[in-house]
Amino acid sequence: MPLLGLIRHGETEWNRLGKMQGHADIPLTEEAHQQLAQLAPPPALAGAQWFVSPLARARQTARLLGISDAIAEERLIETDWGDWQGYTTAQLREELGAKFLENEGKGRHFRPANGESPADVIERVQPFLAQIGARERPVGTVTHKGVIRAVFALAYDWDMMNKAPIKLTWQAAHLFDVAPDGAVRPVEMNVPLDCKS
């Protein structure tokens, strides 16, 4: 089974402010540029074929990590936050009150207004996983929190209703084995990025 590595993009100004970015094409901060320029993918992903979300923050992260040949893959784009893009969770809780809390309790079926649920992201990503499972070479991706959580939910059979089985850190790689049918199995989460020598 080929190894799949998922790396989240570096920090943006909207990340700092806690805003839901979705498909908004927000660039990395200058601090993220400096930080990522010192890092590289972990040794476990040596020789991997790389894919990247088409959004600027992911493409910038890949370049800064020294990944020059990543293929843009639309299915790796962030969750579509629909009408909630640009809002913070606190703003939505205040504006929507009980309706937002009820929606939060739906786990994989939590859906922003006119946006995607985690279940939608899982459905979008599964054909890509099946393509990876047919390969022998490791695959690395630079993507988004929503996509990583979707793959993580599949690997751990997590319904997103309760606390995640493992707390994920975001400046790290998350490694999975992928079966020929696209099923994923956890290998190691929170693998530190390598330091460039």
Rounded to the nearest integer, the mean pLDDT of the chain is 96
Is residue 197 over pLDDT 80? no
3-class SS string, the chain: CCEEEEEECCCEHHHHHCECCCCCCCCECHHHHHHHCCEECCHHHCCCEEEECCCHHHHHHHHHCCCCCCEECHHHCCCCCHHHCCCEHHHHHHHHCHHHHHHHCCHHHCCCCCCCCHHHHHHHHHHHHHHHHCCCCCEEEEECHHHHHHHHHHHHCCCCCCCCCCCCCCCEEEEEEECCCCCEEEEEEEEECEECC
Catalytic residue among 9, 23, 144, 174: 9
CATH of the domain at 10: 3.40.50.1240
- Per-residue pLDDT for 111 more than 90? yes
Known catalytic membership, residue 30: no
Per-residue tokens: 88: 């913070």
State which residues form the domain around 78.
3-195
Using DSSP bridges, classify how beta strands 71-72 and 49-52 pair: parallel, antiparallel or unpaired. parallel
Catalytic residue among 11, 78, 144, 174: 78
What's the pLDDT at 167? 96
Q: Which of 104-108, 124-128, 143-147, 155-159 shows the lowest per-residue confidence on average (mean pLDDT)?
A: 104-108
pLDDT, residue 196, reads 86
The whole-number pLDDT of residue 154 equals 97
Tell me the per-residue pLDDT of 138-158, one tens digit each, with 9 for 90 and over.
999 999 999 999 999 999 999
78 is known as an active-site residue: yes
pLDDT tens, residue by residue, 155-183 = 999 999 999 999 999 999 999 999 999 99
Query: Is pLDDT at 136 greater than 80 in this prediction?
Result: yes
Using alpha carbons, select from 123, 25, 23 the residue that is nearest to residue 80: 23
Q: How many domains does the chain have?
A: 1
Share of the chain above pLDDT 90, in %: 94
Q: What percent of the chain has pLDDT over 70?
A: 99
